[in-house]
Amino acid sequence: MYCDQCQETLSNEACTDTGVCGKDAQTSNIQDLFVWELKGLAYLAEEARAEGIVDEDLRVFIAEGLFSTITNVNFDPEWFEEQIREGFERRRDLRERYEREVGPIDEAALPEAATWEAAESAAFYEKAPEVGVQTTENEDIQSLRELLTYGIKGIAAYADHAYVLGEEKDEVFAFVQRGLAATLDDELSVDDLIGLVLEAGEVGTEVMATLDEAHTSTYGHPEPTEVDIGVRDRPAILVSGHDLKDLEELLEQTEGEGVDVYTHGEMLPAHAYPAFEEYDHFVGNYGNAWWQQHEEFEAFNGPVLMTTNCLVPPNDSYAGRTYTTGVVRFPGLPHVEDRADGGQKDFSALIEHAKETEPPEEIETGTVPNGFAHNAVLDRADDIIEAIQAGDIRGFVVMGGCDGRHPEREYYTEMAESLPDDVIILTAGCAKYRYNKLDLGDIGGIPRVLDAGQCNDSYSLLKIAMELQAALGVEDINDLPIAYDIAWYEQKAVTVLLALLSQGVEGIRLGPTLPAFLSENVVELLVEEFDIKPVDSVESDREAIIEEL
């Protein structure tokens, strides 16, 4: 195996034996083959699209397939084998349709990824080492292909979330296919690939806007909310991941069942949506970021539902009450199957299971603030602008992104603690858990940590910046008193980073380490073009940030 797609990759180089995330070599290899097959499918889908043929289901198959290969999503090699077989079938169907409607395909012109096929699983594993990321020889091209592929994985995940809620943009799916197919094209130069990477940022912004629309039109605009972090004395279910529709259906099905529902990790922002206020048994948030799940799931006592990443391979002690759904899978864990058209997922097994369990153990008490997405913040735009002009607010630091296990991530807690009292932290994603329980106070009633929600709600942070830019009459987004000190972990964060770059944001600090898949030349280019910098010490970054504001 060779995987370097996330921030925790071994020694910041690559996982080659087994993943730091727990992904074993077999799963890593079969994921490589599946991604390669998806690239070939995307190539054919592009050819078909040029002739006016759009296979709508295939768009979703490709997007969900990519989503399933994101860090901490799917650890089940047998499931990937089935998907690869389904991919062969979908390819045959598309080719048949193409040949029927357009004419014969020039077989010789197709990349191997669009033609290779085998029946036996053993052949899949034999082929896999030939198609992983390292098979690109030029290290800069490899680096840019990886950057593009990971950006597209994030786009695919967000597109899939929006699709589940009935919102979709064909141009987003079209870019997923075009961008993926481009990673097979040996004719493309470094400049061509850079162009596609920047386009991925634009599409990333668009897909996050679409998902924001999907969330807010379905569940209302998040409102400032104090979310309880303590527990009640009833059996309960813990929901993690990012899928609000799963949560909605679970809340409906648990109503009147004597079972409470709590959120974990990236599901915390659900408490700020008006649509979920009506559920008295929707108690609060339990625990912290994804990587603390071993202790926290153990202490929770009740069943856990993982709707998306980040799943950590479970301990035996609670594996029997950990359920997966959607693209998440882990061998041996019970899986809640997809909804049939128009229906709901069936969470009855989880609910019955919950009734036999003890209430959660209390691990914290109090509340955390949430719900400061663009609508809520911009409602207070006048106060904010007045405070900026009066000098009460010196500026903002965007500290969104992901959390992770590395002790160096303490940087973000220390940074939050050490920023001057007139600086507001804007956040989204699970990075917030590094500082959202600190008592950092407020500025004239505006909390010093404004949490916009999940990582995809980083769109809110961009939107706030753009609105402030217009209101303050500032020509360049970089002249706003906003500094960026972002934490990354998995591929959705790559999409968020590219989205910021595509909107012209410069001078982003990225930590705790720069991506291992960036070659020296690509790093140099990002520094030259966008002034991206790795995080330094808290002291020196703090001084530099104050200077920038």
- Nearer Cβ to ligand FSO, position 428 or 526? 428
Q: Please choose which of ligand FSO, ligand SF4, none residue 309 contacts, taking the beta carbon within 5 to 8 angstroms, the exact cut-off set by kind.
A: ligand FSO
Tell me how far, at minimum, the Cβ of 265 lies from ligand FSO, in Å.
Answer: 5
Q: Please choose which of ligand FSO, ligand SF4, none residue 455 contacts, taking the beta carbon within 5 to 8 angstroms, the exact cut-off set by kind.
A: ligand FSO
Contact (CB, 8 A) for 297 and 318: yes
- Nearer Cβ to ligand FSO, position 324 or 454? 454
- Nearer Cβ to ligand SF4, position 229 or 487? 487
- Nearer Cβ to ligand SF4, position 308 or 436? 308
Tally the residues of the chain: 549
Q: Which residues contact 20 (CB under 8 A, 6 or more apart)?
A: 8, 9, 10
Q: Does position 9 bind ligand SF4 by CB under 6 A?
A: yes
Contact mark string toward ligand FSO, 309..328, x via CB under 6 A: xx------------------
- Nearer Cβ to ligand SF4, position 17 or 130? 17
| Binder of ligand FSO out of 87, 179, 201, 265 (CB under 6 A) | 265
Each as own residue / partner, the long-range contacts of residues 441-447 (CB below 8 Å, 24 or more positions apart, any chain) are 443/387, 443/392, 443/393, 444/383, 444/387, 444/392, 445/383, 446/380, 446/383, 446/384, 446/387, 446/393, 447/369, 447/372
Could you give the 3-state DSSP secondary structure of residue 299?
helix
Q: Which residues contact 383 (CB under 8 A, 6 or more apart)?
A: 444, 445, 446
Tell me how far, at minimum, the Cβ of 249 lies from ligand FSO, in Å.
Answer: 21
| Cα 542 to Cα 530: distance, rounded to the nearest angstrom | 20
Tell me how far, at minimum, the Cβ of 3 lies from ligand SF4, in Å.
Answer: 3
Q: Does position 54 bind ligand SF4 by CB under 6 A?
A: no
| Cα 439 to Cα 114: distance, rounded to the nearest angstrom | 55
Q: Does position 269 bind ligand FSO by CB under 6 A?
A: no
Tell me how far, at minimum, the Cβ of 244 lies from ligand FSO, in Å.
Answer: 13
Q: Which of residues 57-96 bind ligand SF4 (CB under 6 A)?
A: 71
Q: Does position 20 bind ligand SF4 by CB under 6 A?
A: yes
Tell me how far, at minimum, the Cβ of 535 lies from ligand FSO, in Å.
Answer: 17
| Binder of ligand FSO out of 235, 429, 511, 515 (CB under 6 A) | 429
Q: Please choose which of ligand FSO, ligand SF4, none residue 425 contacts, taking the beta carbon within 5 to 8 angstroms, the exact cut-off set by kind.
A: none
- Nearer Cβ to ligand SF4, position 456 or 491? 491
Burial class (CB in 10 A: 0-12, 13-18, 19+), 364: middle
Match 């609000």 to its residue by tokens.
244
| Cα 238 to Cα 168: distance, rounded to the nearest angstrom | 29
- Nearer Cβ to ligand FSO, position 203 or 455? 455
Tell me how far, at minimum, the Cβ of 428 lies from ligand FSO, in Å.
Answer: 8
| Cα 264 to Cα 271: distance, rounded to the nearest angstrom | 11
Q: Does position 150 bind ligand FSO by CB under 6 A?
A: no
| Cα 230 to Cα 253: distance, rounded to the nearest angstrom | 23
Contact (CB, 8 A) for 421 and 506: no
Q: Please choose which of ligand SF4, ligand FSO, none residue 541 contacts, taking the beta carbon within 5 to 8 angstroms, the exact cut-off set by kind.
A: none
Q: Does position 454 bind ligand FSO by CB under 6 A?
A: yes
CA-based torsion, 175, 181, 185, 187: positive or negative = negative
User: Which of 7-15, 376-384, 428-436, 539-547 is the region at the interface with ligand SF4 (rule: CB under 6 A)?
Assistant: 7-15
The DSSP line for 460-506 is: HHHHHHHHHHHHHT-SSGGGSSEEEEEE--SHHHHHHHHHHHHTT--
Q: Does position 493 bind ligand FSO by CB under 6 A?
A: yes
Pairing type for strands 442-443 and 446-447 reads antiparallel
Q: Please choose which of ligand SF4, ligand FSO, none residue 19 contacts, taking the beta carbon within 5 to 8 angstroms, the exact cut-off set by kind.
A: ligand SF4
- Nearer Cβ to ligand FSO, position 129 or 313? 313
| Cα 393 to Cα 388: distance, rounded to the nearest angstrom | 5
CA torsion 232-237-242-247 (nearest 10°) is -100
Q: Please choose which of ligand FSO, ligand SF4, none residue 34 contacts, taking the beta carbon within 5 to 8 angstroms, the exact cut-off set by kind.
A: none
Q: Does position 489 bind ligand FSO by CB under 6 A?
A: yes
Q: Which residue is nearest to ligand SF4 (CB)?
A: 19
Summarize as ranges the residues that interact with ligand FSO (CB under 6 A): 265-266, 290, 309-310, 402, 429-430, 454-455, 489-490, 492-493
Summarize as ranges the residues that interact with ligand SF4 (CB under 6 A): 3-6, 8-9, 15, 19-21, 23, 28, 71
